[in-house]
Amino acid sequence: MNMPNTVNACLSNRILSFPPGWGEVHARRMKPELIDRRRFLKSTGVAAGSAVLGFPAITRCQSPNSKLGLALIGVGGRGRAHVQAALDSKEDIVALVDVNENNLGAALELAPKARSYSDFRELFTNLDGIDAVFVATTEHTHAFAILPALRAGKHVYSEKPLTRDVFEARLVIETAAARPELMTQMGTQIHAGENYRRVVELVESGAIGPVREAHCWVSRAWGWQTQEEAEKHKDLIYTPDTPAKGMPVPDGLDWDLWIGPAPYRDFHEFYFPGPRWYRWWDFGNGTMSDLGSHRNDLPWWALKLDAPLTIEPVAGPAPHADIAPASMAVKYTYGPRGPLPPVEMTWYQGVEKPRLWREGKIPQWGDGCLFIGDGGMLLADYSKYILLPEDKFVGFKPPTPTIAPSPGQQAEWILACKGEGPKPLCHFGYSGPLTEANHLGNVAYRAGKKLEWDARNMKFPNAPEAERFLKREYREGWSLEG
């Protein structure tokens, strides 16, 4: 159901939805009143946030019928794009936050009237004039910026991956579900592209028949590997091991704040600037969680995936205690989703590739997603796709487009916050479970064994020892408690 256009700023009339099969899993873990609300909505067909259900039908902007008041947390790297998006949309930039004075200074030149902070925790002590928050910190602090904003009733856009681990993803999912009037979005820009929409429509239309197998791969090889492999694959920066000694902190960078909730370690160029940090378990989850947000998004969307039943490592080196791998592969199994059959999905990164790719039976694209159906195959990348075998699909006419064009991932969210467009497609009810699944791939790799996943209870019945990888301890002074 689409949100109708309205002149009233911040009108939101839709309940946060979950992928098929996921809502029931998570509803059982929510408070009884939330379960009752969801059952009520399902049984009556009501889709509006209603005061009867305990939620206001309207989330009012600080300045009704006017511009959104925006806070931007992290204004370097991807955060620079958020600053530009805010300027392009002509919204009000009320506050800017960054641990790097250089990034902050550059952003303030573009928005000189904004309040500025180095510590986003200070921002949340004064949210005057703020309706919505962009988050573009490193992923190990995403949840610490997202959750206070949601709890304060602010719309939130966060860069991918949504969180650093499974526990944090679940906490964000449930917090967002309790505030359905808020508009959320994860920054997977390719989700807004036309090609992904056409691929989803092809799969959903049955062009290749029921899909029972899918494969996603990326050739990026950043992370733990031998020097020979790093030289062959032009690693961003070769990381042989955890540095024994630190380096001087760059001018303008508050290193202690950058470390945030992670265990403290001295500064080194191996960790900063981005995206070097993402290969370290303390700060990120490597290629799987980063590019998996983009690549696994396509089968997740097209195949209506939900919580996996099992996750199994199928290739890769022995796990390093501190560094995510450059190359590895993990296989997921998913059960039936309504009329859709069970499906296996395998992720590959670095040197690992699907068997059909290695045998030359499909085009050897460096990155891709392959759907294998009963009636053919569909190979897709960000901007192109091909139906296989090609001779079988000569003269094939694609289905009429049903998924509307997007104005862009950030613009889509801004319009939704103002009540001038539909709910964003990568809302946290969709992107949160996707993030969980990606993290589970890393958990299985680190555990070194096939894991059975009890999504409701966040347990591995066959390997409870692997549950230590689902969350982490936080440094003193940092907490996710409300």
Do residues 378 and 249 both lie within one domain?
Answer: yes
Pairwise CA distance, residues 68 & 80, whole Å: 18
Report the run of H or E that residue 186 belongs to, with start and end: strand 184-187
The better pLDDT of the pair 481, 51 is held by 481
CA–CA distance, 343 with 345 (Å, rounded to integer): 6
- pTM check: above 0.85: yes
- C-alpha angle 23-407-437 in degrees, rounded to nearest 5: 30
Do residues 29 and 47 share a domain? yes
pLDDT at 452 over 80: yes
Paired tokens of 432: 């949160």
Q: Give 341-380 as a DSSP string.
A: PPEEEEEEETT---HHHHTTSS---SSEEEEEETTEEEEE
pLDDT for the residue numbered 412: 97
Compute the half-sphere exposure of residue 385: CA atoms within 13 Å on the CB side of its CA: 24
pLDDT band at residue 439 using 50, 70 and 90 as cut-offs: very high
> Are residues 365 and 228 part of one domain?
yes
CATH label of the domain that carries residue 156: 3.40.50.720
Task: Give pLDDT, residue 239.
Answer: 86
> In the prediction, which pLDDT does 235 show?
87
Residues 440, 398 share a domain: yes
Per the domain annotation, does 8 fall within a domain? no
Helices (H) and strands (E) in the chain, counts: 15, 14
Same domain membership, residue 372 and residue 312: yes
Domain count, the chain: 2
Q: Confidence band (pLDDT; 50, 70, 90) for 33?
A: very low
Structural domain includes residue 296 = yes
Please report the pLDDT score of residue 10 as a whole number. 31
Q: 28 falls in which pLDDT band (50, 70, 90)?
A: very low
pLDDT score, position 197: 98
Helix, strand, coil % over all residues of the chain, rounded to 5: 35, 15, 50
3-state secondary structure of 205: helix
How far is 109 from 83, CA to CA, in rounded Å?
Answer: 11
The pLDDT value given to residue 426: 97
Answer whether residue 354 is part of any domain: yes
Co-location of 132 and 198 in the same domain: no
Q: Which residue type, as a one-letter code, is found at position 455?
A: A
Query: How large is the average pLDDT for residues 316-332?
Result: 97
pLDDT in tens, 146-203: 999 999 999 999 999 999 999 999 999 999 999 999 999 999 999 999 999 999 999 9
393 is a domain residue: yes
46 — pLDDT class (breaks 50, 70, 90): very low
Burial class (CB in 10 A: 0-12, 13-18, 19+), 322: middle
Q: Is the pLDDT of residue 243 over 80?
A: yes
Give 338-360 pLDDT, tens digit per residue. 999 999 999 999 999 999 999 99
Q: Which value, in Å, is the radius of gyration of the alpha carbons in the chain?
A: 22
Q: Indicate if 223 and 329 belong to the same structural domain.
A: yes
Tell me what pLDDT residue 401 has: 97
Same domain (yes/no): 295, 312: yes
Mean pLDDT of the chain: 88
pLDDT of residue 44: 25
Residue 482 has what pLDDT?
A: 78
206 and 146 in one domain? no
Tell me: do 147 and 203 sit in the same domain. no
Closest CA to 291 of 382, 158, 166: 382
Q: Are residues 198 and 188 part of one domain?
A: no
Task: Tell me how far the alpha carbon of residue 222 is from its chain's centroid.
Answer: 19
Position 66 scores a pLDDT of 81
Q: Buried b / exposed e across 425-460, counting CB within 10 Å, b at 16+?
A: bbbbbbbbbbbbbbbbbbbbbbbeebbebebeeebb
Instruction: Sort strands 343-349 and 328-334 into parallel, antiparallel or unpaired.
Output: antiparallel
The Cα 475–Cα 219 span in angstroms is 34
Asked if the structure places residue 314 within a domain, the reply is yes
Residue 34 belongs to what domain range? 22-192+407-427
Checking if the pLDDT of 462 tops 80, the result is yes
> Inter-axis angle of helices 142-151 and 166-177, to 10 degrees?
20
Name the strand (E) or helix (H) holding 97: strand 92-97
CATH number at residue 289: 3.30.360.10
99 in a structural domain: yes
Mark whether 238 and 375 lie in a shared domain: yes
Is 2 inside any structural domain?
no
Residue 44 belongs to some domain of the structure: yes
Tell me the per-residue pLDDT of 85-119, one tens digit each, with 9 for 90 and over: 999 999 999 999 999 999 999 999 999 999 999 99
